Amino acid sequence: MRYFGTDGIRGVVNEFLTPELAFRLGNAVGNMVNGKVFIAKDTRNSGDMLEAALIAGITSAGADVYRCGIMSTPALALITKLENAAGIMISASHNPPEYNGLKVIMKGYKLPDSLEERIENEMQNVKYNSFEKVGRVIDYKLAEEEYFNYIKELYKNLDLSGLKIVMDVANGATYNLNPKILEYFGAKIEVVNNEPDGFNINKDCGSTHPENIKNYIVNGKIGVLHDGDGDRCIFLDENGQEFHGDKIIGLTALQLKKEGRLKNDKVVVTILSNMGLERFLNENSIDVVRTKVGDRYVLEEMLKENIILGGERSGHIIYLDRSTTGDGLITALETLSAVVNSGKRLVELSKLIPDYPQVMINVKVNDKEVYKSKEVFEKLKSIKDYRVIVRPSGTEPVVRVLVEGPDMDESTIIANDIADLIKKLDDKKE
């Protein structure tokens, strides 16, 4: 597809992602829906510009816009489900501030490839409605309250009093609401990176930079870290060590099984999830299904196989009986609930779930197809006793190299050898 990647339309602002592109998307969606489109955004400085372009496109097609303001992607997804409507989220998730993105959501769910292809076709020909049918813009001030009320009802018996939490909101969409919600359930909250200025979203903070809040983890505190649009969550335990998505899936899978919520005793993970997690789940009579990287593929498998829990090591985790998409707040609440019910500290629970050493290297390239070369294939064939994954990023000009195995030093050597080969082959193509 020309515009849509693995997670909507995403790119550098005013290079790939322009107001014209946003206008065309808005016009296409406005012509496809019946009535209204909800819009939300994260805290990037380009959000206002893209929002204005989307609004012009949607209303020119005759649909009304319900503007939700700064809000997380999962909160917008919930509202589109409750309102039986379409939505567009303006966010580039965990990417740096020069990027932005446009994610189309229909009745709570991200779109299948077929619908994205249809939208791309519609974007080629702008269709204006007559002047008397131009849509209106409504500031939907109930959006935050609607989401908060849903969460309160979902976890009405949850008591987090006694937990001391450092919350890193990545200067992003969750900076205001999510700390309030955790406080509502009784946790004592210290919030960091909650002063967005339009340019500091995800910058050395949030779930992609957990190392930067380790100095806050003292006196029995644990860390809860989101990304820019709030669909991810990871933790730091009481020792400041990362409790990532694999460990969250392992811990909460057991809790869901105890509660009778884990349908078919299966969990969906991607090819990047650690072999240690798979072993842990199998030992607890839980089967593991693996998919390609990307939450959309995780969700597709969950829906196909009637599986409740699935996610990624990055902390993008879906609890399908709670939400239609990954929700960092729900992930936090499910994990904290499991911690409280266990009566143990997070650092103790972390030790129960093994984690084989993994090395990930992002190789910047001009041609991502270089990973398919014969030389790379032969190199991979020669490696024994280590799991190796080489794949292109869906949103950035990089090829990702992942090596997993029993020895960290050997994994690092293998990963560097493959990365060097890819860089060398890419340089030859210039």
* Active site positions, annotated: 93
What is residue 234's DSSP assignment?
Answer: E
User: Which stretches does DSSP call E strand in 151-286?
Assistant: 164-168, 188-192, 222-226, 233-236, 242-243, 266-270
Gap between the Cα atoms of 90 and 76, Å rounded: 10
In DSSP notation, 370-415 reads GGGSHHHHHHHHT--SSEEEEEE-SSSSEEEEEEE-S-HHHHHHHH
Gap between the Cα atoms of 320 and 65, Å rounded: 28
The alpha-carbon radius of gyration of the chain (Å, integer) is 22
Query: Of 178, 153, 171, which Cα lies nearest the Cα of 94?
Result: 171
Question: Which residues fall within 8 angstroms of residue 383, CB to CB, at 6 or more apart?
Answer: 414
Calculate helix-pair angle for 328-342, 177-184, nearest 10 degrees: 20
> Which residues is 88 bridged to in the sheet?
39, 104
Q: In the block, which residue shows the tokens 């090591």?
A: 313
